[in-house]
Amino acid sequence: MGYSLFNNIVYVYKESIKRYPKVKWFLLINFLTEILVPISAVLITTLVVYSLTNDVDVATYVLLIVGMIFTTYFLESLRYWSLLRFQFENTFTRNSTFLTRLAEHQLTTDYINVESKDRRKVITKAFEAIAGNYFGIEMLLSQTPKLVFNTVGLVVYGVLIIIYVPFVMIILLIMSIINFLLVKRANAYLAKINNELNDEFVEKYYLAKDSTNPNYGKDIRLYNIGEWFDKLFVKLTKNRRKVTGKVERKFLFGRISNTLFLLIRDFAAYSVLLGLVINGTITIATFTFLLGIVAGFSAWLTGFTSASNFLRSSNIAVNNYRECIGVKNINKDGLTVDKEQFKKPLKIQFENVSFTYPNSEKPVLENLSFTIKSGEKIALVGNNGAGKTTIIKLLCGLYVPNKGIIKVNGVDINDYRTEEYMKLISVVFQDSEPLALTIEQNITCQVQKGIDKDKLWNAIKKSDLEEKVMSLENKENTYITQMFEESGIRLSGGEIQKLMLARSLYKETPLLILDEPTAALDPISEEKMYIRYKELVEHSTSLFISHRLSSTKFCDKIFFLEDGKIIEEGTHDELIALNKKYYEVFNIQAQYYVEDAENEKY
């Protein structure tokens, strides 16, 4: 359920004033001057006519006019200054408060909140709300005062019109109501197709992002994907233009009616006022004053309509933003980690754990139970979709089971504070990507002052990355990619996996998880890494995921998974002797290794 416009206005202004309390004074000054400047301009014209028709002496005339001109100039200058300051603070608030808050939310929210397709759409729409000066949050900040002072202007000028020419006011009200209904109809249509517009924005956003991703650069050029990207982008642009055209046509009736009503209003107002002058009911000076008031009323009405339209469209974007950051984390408070737990490997228990992904009916895991003893080295093997990575993400606390309990050292992991529990785990995921920072920063994930150099180099050596780092001119201070540094380097797939391993080793945790850590390595490097892994995990409980069954020989136990269930369990030799599924898959893979080895001879 979305928030009301009033609720969103209170929300953004509360945050704006909280960040910079003085902004309310800029807002107040701008509000007062926006009202007073038009009135001052009308009074100047009225004084000129009054002086000419009432034989005011030249000195008094000059004094009055010069005084009013300087007053108007002063008010206009004050209005412009306060508006600039107000706009500047609005932009700063959008970037320093709302953008920062959204970024913080993305970094701290539960992992499942950023992984699903639906949630990614919500996130993209939230970023759209803070994407510029003329939309979303900043538009709400800038247009709210305009709505208020246009409303006040309408009331003040409307009262004056009612006093002198009530007939004109009746015409204005009728026309305004008709115009309002037409615009309301157009806004209702805009709200109706909002999801369609947002979906197209999301598609264009990802298309633009992927087209500039250097990782796709080679394939885009070799397979002429760029041409396909262009066609798709043009198609999306045409679709958006088509939908936007429908919206514009809806609003066109309101604009046409407003122009027509403007002509009718002016004709009626001028006719009535001219009749009053001819009849001697009002003076020429009063006629001039009221003429300015009627014209001013039109300007206030146009401003009011414009501000209303902007606020309604911005309200949709702000709702998207609040929907995104309003998602609550499942677990944040709980136990802290006892330092003693870092001194010995962990015991892990899955008790009747079931998990189903959002928007899916089929469980990935169902009533899964197993125990990993303290210090054991376990391999999780099985075909794609068997549930291996899901088990890892559940154990890491990235997902929460739909049913069942996961215990570490006898304690439900949901009873720990999230950030405390994360201290116990180091993970090397198969699809990890380095940050565009230095090698040192990628490994330590720390600022310069908190880095333990001895620990850093120990991790680099153990991960077999020392030779590569030492070959670089800036050693561990070398940047990865050229995003921030011209001399940055690009690492191979195998080097990235070694870098991720060094990161996990630097963290020094009692639980080490390796998800396909050798997928990008050649067979020789792979064999060397397996031998090294056995040494690296000697003092930790470890889980090892691999499709290559030959890589699991160093593990204490192997869990062979199929459809979210452990169908075979034991050591490599025990499962071979069992002569079932593991044995079958192992022999198939072994056949390919033999064929590869034979082919290497030629």
pLDDT, tens only, 51-74 = 777 777 778 878 888 888 888 889
Q: Is 382 exposed, middle or buried (0-12, 13-18, 19+ CB in 10 A)?
A: buried
DSSP one-letter code for 98: I
* Of 320 and 237, the one with more pLDDT: 320
Where does 5-325 sit in CATH, by number? 1.20.1560.10
In which band, very low, low, confident or very high, does the pLDDT at 600 lie, cut at 50, 70 and 90?
very low
In which band, very low, low, confident or very high, does the pLDDT at 602 lie, cut at 50, 70 and 90?
very low
Q: What is the pLDDT of residue 538?
A: 75
In which band, very low, low, confident or very high, does the pLDDT at 519 lie, cut at 50, 70 and 90?
low
pLDDT higher than 60, residue 417: yes
Candidate ranges 173-182, 270-279, 516-525; pick with highest mean pLDDT:
270-279
8 Å CB contact between 403 and 354: yes
Q: What is the pLDDT of residue 597?
A: 44
In which band, very low, low, confident or very high, does the pLDDT at 598 lie, cut at 50, 70 and 90?
very low
The mean pLDDT value of the chain amounts to 81
Query: Mean per-residue pLDDT for 187-206?
Result: 66
Q: What is the pLDDT of residue 470?
A: 93
Give me the residue spans of the domains in the chain. 5-325, 339-434+491-574
Q: What is the pLDDT of residue 601?
A: 43
Query: Mean per-residue pLDDT for 1-11?
Result: 86
Cβ neighbours of residue 509 closer than 8 Å, sequence gap 6 or more: 342, 423, 424, 425, 426, 540
CA distances from 317 to 151, 198, 297, 337 (A): 24, 10, 31, 41
Q: What is the pLDDT of residues 435-444, one digit of tens each?
A: 888 899 999 9
8 Å CB contact between 311 and 337: no
pLDDT higher than 60, residue 242: yes
DSSP for 350-393?
A: EEEEEE--TT--S-SEEEEEEEE-TT-EEEEEESTTSSHHHHHH
SS3 139: helix
In percent, how much of the chain has pLDDT > 90? 12
Q: What is the pLDDT of residue 194?
A: 64
What is the C-alpha separation between 123 and 413, in angstroms, rounded? Answer: 28
pLDDT higher than 70, residue 205: no
* Of 505 and 250, the one with more pLDDT: 505
In which band, very low, low, confident or very high, does the pLDDT at 251 lie, cut at 50, 70 and 90?
low
* Of 152 and 267, the one with more pLDDT: 152
Q: What is the pLDDT of residue 223?
A: 65
Query: Mean per-residue pLDDT for 492-517?
Result: 87
Pick the CATH number of 339-434+491-574 from 3.90.1150.10, 3.40.50.300, 3.30.565.10, 3.40.50.720: 3.40.50.300
In which band, very low, low, confident or very high, does the pLDDT at 232 lie, cut at 50, 70 and 90?
confident
Q: Is 283 exposed, middle or buried (0-12, 13-18, 19+ CB in 10 A)?
A: middle
